[in-house]
Amino acid sequence: MSVSRHTAYNLVGQVLPILLSLVTVPLYLRLVGAERYGVLAIAFLLLGYFGLFDLGLGRATSFRVAARSDAEPQARADTMWAALAVNILMGIAGGVVLWIAAQFFFGRMFKVSPDLRTEVIAAVPLLALAVPVATINGVLTGAMQGRQRFLEINIVNVVSTSLFQIIPLGIAVLAGPRLPLLLLGALSARAIAAAVLAYRCHVELTHGQRIRLDRGEVVALLKYGGWVNLTSIFAPVLFMLDRFAIGAMLSARAVTDYTVPYQLANRTSILSGSLVGALFPRLSSAGEDERRALAEKAGLTVLALLSPLFLGGIYIMGPFLQLWVGHKVGPAAPAVGRLILLGMWANGLALVPFTRLQAAGRPDLVSKIQIAEIPPYLLMLFAGIHFFGLVGSAVAAAARFSMDYCLLTWATGQGLKGSRLVLANFLVLGAGVACAGAWTFTDPQWWASGLVLAGLSAWLALLALPAELRLRFTHALRRGLALS
């Protein structure tokens, strides 16, 4: 199976819903109002957090199905039945906990008008019902990933996410913006996706096989999924600590000045995430030598693809923020965005050893590394904010992402073959951060430095590309020049 083709499927599957949201968010604000939309946002945030009741079984199922690609069909069916049984129980438990928590939060703590509060409370059972639907979707998607059915996964994801945004809008137009109806529409979109994925999993894994619960498989899934779930708990903490620290040490306005460029920079994770998502089942089913070679090739490919793109992002961060939001963010926002982009570049590289460790059956190492990073990151973060404000926070975040890459690469037992290329690209990107911050896009030095660094970055990218991809690229370039 082609990793590059699967990467393209994943990339399109993530980009299309983002583009659709740019259209639907203003429509939601117009049709349901800012207050109702705020309630929906909090409801979906709660739902996302309670997705932790998945216990990492989605990733564990993907790993076990891929690792058993050459086993008897009944063995893969056993994985599917074990994952569904545990997941349904945990999804129901998560739904009950969410019901209780949401009743308390929306009933007593959330500041909302009395009329709308009645609607919110009436919608809580639907929100609770969405938890097992979401966790089941995770396991079904993981099973299909293990079978490398990325085109089908992304078709279902795009259609489901589109319906998730469109159906409630249609309900708001036809029946009014009542929250229970809006949540029912959103839940129906997820239920449709679960039904389609369940049918495809039946065709791929359970058709003609016995229904049985293998206790050994349950233990194996929970052992692997437990470490993945621990990572799911601590990774968001590491990502969110800076916002909480800024709010506590500076101000709410400073949080906005930091969050706007951070969210822009964070979108860049789509490319590397699409690649490693497609790579995971291949790594899981490979032997150690093949896994090592695949991870090395993926690391060099990510390095070659990301570095020029991130250099461009570093240079356009300031002009784009000025064009997009103008003076609604403070003067430190462009510098924050450039530094976070540098960190996100390291984070993109870190996804390769991260995925390799999970595919090798060592998710425990990933969790242990992330837990170990918390104390030094806290020290860097609070010192950075204390002495340098928002820029200090961005430096600490970039340093943490770089530390993550170094530790995960070390944990694999083999450094990246092109470590000198990594360092060279880091220096080019660091020079870009300095130059783009020293001059504005109206200065000749801004353009001159950008062109010089872009040339260096393109040359380094060509050196980093694996030989096979380099030949494809040069062949395509020659054909393009010949046609012109």
Q: What secondary structure letter does DSSP report for 207?
A: T
Specify whether 190 is located in the same domain as 107. yes
The answer as to whether 344 is a domain residue is: yes
The predicted pLDDT at position 379 comes to 93
Specify whether 91 is located in the same domain as 50. yes
Give residue 50's domain range.
1-213
Specify whether 199 is located in the same domain as 274. no
Contact 205, 78 (CB under 8 A): no
Distance CA 348, CA 18 (A): 19
Which amino acid makes up residue 110? Answer: F
The answer as to whether 274 is a domain residue is: yes
DSSP 210-260: -----HHHHHHHHHHHHHHHHHHHHHHHHHHHHHHHHHHHT-HHHHHHHHH
The answer as to whether 343 is a domain residue is: yes
Contact 174, 91 (CB under 8 A): no
Distance CA 379, CA 462 (A): 38
The answer as to whether 221 is a domain residue is: no
Q: Which of 298, 343, 274 is nearest to 468 (CA)?
A: 298
Distance CA 199, CA 194 (A): 9
Number of domains in the chain: 2
Helix pair angle (57-67, 215-249), 10° resolution: 140
pLDDT in tens, 81-139: 888 888 888 888 888 887 887 788 777 766 667 777 777 788 788 878 888 888 888 88
Specify whether 278 is located in the same domain as 155. no
The predicted pLDDT at position 417 comes to 59
Distance CA 429, CA 453 (A): 8
Question: Given its phi and psi angles, is residue 2 left (phi above 0), alpha (psi -120 to 50 degrees) or beta?
Answer: beta
Cβ neighbours for 482, distance < 8 A, ≥ 6 positions apart:
none
Q: Which of 182, 213, 244 is the last residue of a domain?
A: 213
Q: Which of 213, 238, 259 is the last residue of a domain?
A: 213
In degrees and rounded to multiples of 5, residue 81 shows phi and psi of -65, -40
Worst-scoring range by mean pLDDT, 290-299, 411-420, 457-466?
A: 411-420
Specify whether 261 is located in the same domain as 193. no
Specify whether 42 is located in the same domain as 82. yes
Specify whether 375 is located in the same domain as 446. yes
In 297-386, where do the E strands start and end? none
Chain centroid, CA 84 distance in Å: 24
Measured in residues, the chain has a length of 484
Residue 274: pLDDT band (50, 70, 90) is: confident
Mean residue pLDDT of the chain comes to 81
The predicted pLDDT at position 132 comes to 85
Residue with tokens 């159906």: 167
The answer as to whether 220 is a domain residue is: no
Specify whether 8 is located in the same domain as 130. yes
pLDDT in tens, 218-268: 887 777 776 766 666 666 667 777 877 887 788 767 777 887 788 778 777
Contact 343, 398 (CB under 8 A): yes
The predicted pLDDT at position 98 comes to 79
pLDDT in tens, 16-47: 777 777 677 677 777 877 667 766 766 665 66
Specify whether 191 is located in the same domain as 274. no
Q: Which of 187, 213, 239 is the last residue of a domain?
A: 213
Chain centroid, CA 296 distance in Å: 22
What 93-98 contacts at long range (C-beta under 8 Å, 24+ apart), as own/partner pairs, is 93/53, 94/50, 94/51, 94/52, 94/53, 94/131, 94/132, 94/135, 95/50, 95/128, 95/129, 95/130, 95/131, 95/132, 96/128, 97/50, 97/53, 98/46, 98/47, 98/50, 98/127, 98/128, 98/131
Most confident option among 9-18, 263-272, 328-337, 392-401: 392-401
Specify whether 109 is located in the same domain as 190. yes
Pairwise pLDDT comparison (5 vs 356), residue with the higher score = 356
The answer as to whether 256 is a domain residue is: yes
Residue 343 has pLDDT above 80, yes or no: yes
Residue 1 has pLDDT above 60, yes or no: no
Q: Degrees (nearest 5) of the Cα angle 229, 302, 415?
A: 75
Which amino acid makes up residue 303? Answer: L
Specify whether 189 is located in the same domain as 49. yes
Average pLDDT over residues 282-299: 78
Average pLDDT over residues 378-396: 93
Q: What secondary structure letter does DSSP report for 72?
A: -
Worst-scoring range by mean pLDDT, 3-17, 93-107, 446-460?
A: 3-17
Specify whether 188 is located in the same domain as 260. no
Distance CA 208, CA 211 (A): 9
Prediction pTM value: 0.69
Distance CA 128, CA 104 (A): 13
The answer as to whether 223 is a domain residue is: no
The answer as to whether 222 is a domain residue is: no
Percent of the chain with pLDDT over 90: 19
The predicted pLDDT at position 415 comes to 58
Tokens of 286: 């490979």
- In this structure, how many other beta carbons lie within 10 angstroms of the beta carbon of residue 477? 10
